[in-house]
Every structure is written in structure tokens, then in C-alpha cells.
Amino acid sequence: MASAHGQVANLLNPNYKEDVTRWLREDCPSFDYGGFVVGEGMAEARLLGKSKSLVQGLLAGVPFFDEVFRQLDCTVEWHVHEGSSFDPIKHCATVRGPVRKILLGERVALNLLARCSGIAFKYLSLSFTACLPSHAITNLPDPERSAQLLSLIRVHSQNTILAGTRKTTPGFRLVEKYGMLIGGCDAHRYDLSAMTMLKDNHIWACGGSITKAVHAAKAVGGFAIKVEVECQSEEEAEEAVRAGADVVMLDNFTGEGVRRAARSLQKTFREGEDRREFLVEVSGGLTEDNVSNFVCEEVDVLSTSSIHQGVKHVDFSLKIVH
């Protein structure tokens, strides 16, 4: 978990401030009519974490929220630490500055915080579900216990890594990947340059040869760039490992198929004479309802876009003190 080793905010390149500027410009491209009405008088507003539907909320996205109001000459005082959970309704922060500028940044800041926090919160419930037997899914405790249970899960399943995917919202990837990290999730590759992933289309374009595709990727990426191969069968996974793939993805397998293929790869390449270094990743339609079916000791990574697609936002509001 990244936050156990330092401040996740320290990962951010200053370029993200340009994104905030663009988002503010998008929301107010010309006249601020409402701002004219309220004027420049100094005001104070309270950020309230609500999210009654989630039982408990989790705070993520603080640097983006802060930057919105910094660019508008306002200050933010936080009363809840990023990565912490809170019970609704919670006074999470206080924003101070000209009332016009508080309201100018309100919607952009809340949208950023709501989505980023929703992604972070999603990981906690999913990571808990991943390590339960299927018969226990119907007896899940309230989400408010997920953070504590995550620590318990790690005692029994240290090798289970939950990761997001590259299926992010265009122009919003940085915020969504940040939310994954705050929630404790592995963000997976950030972009096409971060790792070579050879999917079915790449293999078909190489005449169907996984070996040819892997060798070409290794030749151009060198020692620094990992190569992952999306595999549709156990035979393809074996070819990928022999070709030198760093990661083999068992894509859209059944739970039984995953266990059989992963254990076969373990026996052949981790216990046999032809030993290779590689990771086994499982992906394809994983959700809270079925992810436990794919967990076994031979699987290193479970990746799913359900962590960041279609998540419930954590509900926040900003109220002027009067």
C-alpha cells in the first residue's frame, strides 16, 4: 500500500496544476454571473462529507481540491486526513476566501473529490470480497469495517494484489489513478509507455505468434520495460512464459480455468527444471460478486476496471457559513 511508505501526493508532477486550470476554465469560460451577484466579501465555507448510502466515506483527492482553491486565492484547512474514513455527516475541511471565488471553485472541487474518494472507497470493499470464500459473500459486514478487515485479509493472503486498469476517463486519468493509490490499490500501468501489453490484436497482427511479438517488444523496450501478454488459453500462457514475458494475463477465464492454468504454470515454471521469473495476472469481468472465485495462491494480480468504472461517488457538499 503506497500510503504506508509516504505521502501519495508527493507522486504528483506540478503539471497537474495545468489540468486544474483547464477544468476551471471549462466550468466558467466567460462571465461568472452568479459571482457578480454575491461579490468579493470574505466568507467561510464548510466541506461536509455526507454519503449516507455508503454508510461511511473515505477521503481522497486532497491535492486537487487544494489546488482549485489556491488558484482562486482561497485557503483550505483540513480536519480529516487523506485516506481516512469518516462517518456522515462530517465537517471535513474549511475553505476561506472571497465568497465569489469559493462559489466559482465549488463544483469543480467537489466533483474531483467525489470521484477520487469513490474510487478509493471502492477498493476497500473489493479487496475484502476478493479474499472471502464464495459462500461468505452473502454475509458481508457493513462497508464501515472494510478498512480494518483489509489488514486481516493481508494476514491470510499476502500475495493477492488488486489492480486497476487503463480503462480510465480521458483527461481524468491522473485523478482516478491517484484515487486507486489512496485506497490501497495497485494503479497498474499508467499509459502505453509504462509497460508493453500485448493483447490479442497485437498477436494477430504478428501472424498469431506470441513468441515473435514478445521478442519484438523485448528488442525495443530493453531491460527496463516489462512485457505482458494477454492469453486466452493455458497453451498461450506457456508460450508467453517461454518467450520471456514478464507477466501473463489469463483473460476471461472461468474461476476453475484460472486455478488449473495458474497451478500448471506454477508446476512447470516455478517448481520444475525450466524455471522462469514471471507474474500471473487474472482479468476480465471481475466484480465484488465473483472475484473470490479467482483467488488462489498461484495468482499474483487481480485487475479490474470495476474499481474505477461505475463507482458510487462519495457525496460532499460545500456550505457557506452564515
Give yes or no: 167 in active site: yes
Are 78 and 59 in contact by the 8 Å Cβ rule? The answer is no
Q: Which of 167, 177, 199, 312 is catalytic?
A: 167
Which residues lie below 8 Å from residue 87, measured CB to CB, with a gap of 6+?
56, 144
Per-residue CA distances from 137 to 10, 122, 168, 287, 299 (Å): 37, 16, 27, 12, 20
How buried is residue 123: exposed, middle or buried, by Cβ count under 10 Å (0-12/13-18/19+)? buried
Grid coordinates representing 88 are 456522515
Are 204 and 232 in contact by the 8 Å Cβ rule? The answer is no
Phi, psi of 131 (to 5 degrees): -105, 15
H-only helix segments in 93-195: 99-130, 146-156, 173-183
Q: Which residues are catalytic?
A: 167
